[in-house]
Amino acid sequence: MADEDEDENEGPVVELGEETPVEGQPLARVASRLTWPRERSRLLDKEGDAVIRTPSGPQTLSDVLDDVDVSYFETRKEFVDEIESVVGNGPVETKRKTT
């Protein structure tokens, strides 16, 4: 019964088709690889070259962090909120295959 409850809480599954590739990684994936709190400089050393998905297209984390004034992130949420305040939070551009 516990498995049924867990399945109900997950929500609907949305599959990304093969037709619309998306460049970069979700910000949540990058944030999940880190431990918190985290200094900005150590974050850049570890994940600065990571390419994240943004509504305006893929960007490196180091480029986005150039526009963030915070030098020490207490929590994962603080980090995500600061990044999203720069890049936004919305639909991500996709590459369309040409035939």
Identify the pLDDT of residue 83. 95
The whole domain housing 40 covers 21-87
Q: Is residue 1 part of a domain?
A: no
The total number of structural domains that make up the chain: 1
Q: What is the pLDDT of residues 8-25, one digit of tens each?
A: 556 566 665 566 677 889
Q: What is the pLDDT of residues 54-76, one digit of tens each?
A: 998 899 999 999 999 999 999 99
Q: Is residue 81 part of a domain?
A: yes
Q: Is residue 99 part of a domain?
A: no
Measured CA to CA in angstroms, residue 8 lies from 4, 14, 21, 82 at distances of: 6, 15, 29, 31
Q: Is residue 12 part of a domain?
A: no
Q: Is residue 27 part of a domain?
A: yes
Measured CA to CA in angstroms, residue 47 lies from 1, 6, 22, 83 at distances of: 40, 32, 19, 13
Cα 82 to chain centroid distance, Å, stands at 12
Identify the pLDDT of residue 85. 95
CA angle 8, 54, 10 (to 5 degrees): 5
Q: Mean pLDDT over residues 38-64, rounded?
A: 94
Backbone angles phi, psi at 72, to 5 degrees: -145, 120
Query: Model-level pTM?
Result: 0.73
Identify the pLDDT of residue 8. 54
CA–CA separation, 83 and 89 (whole Å): 9
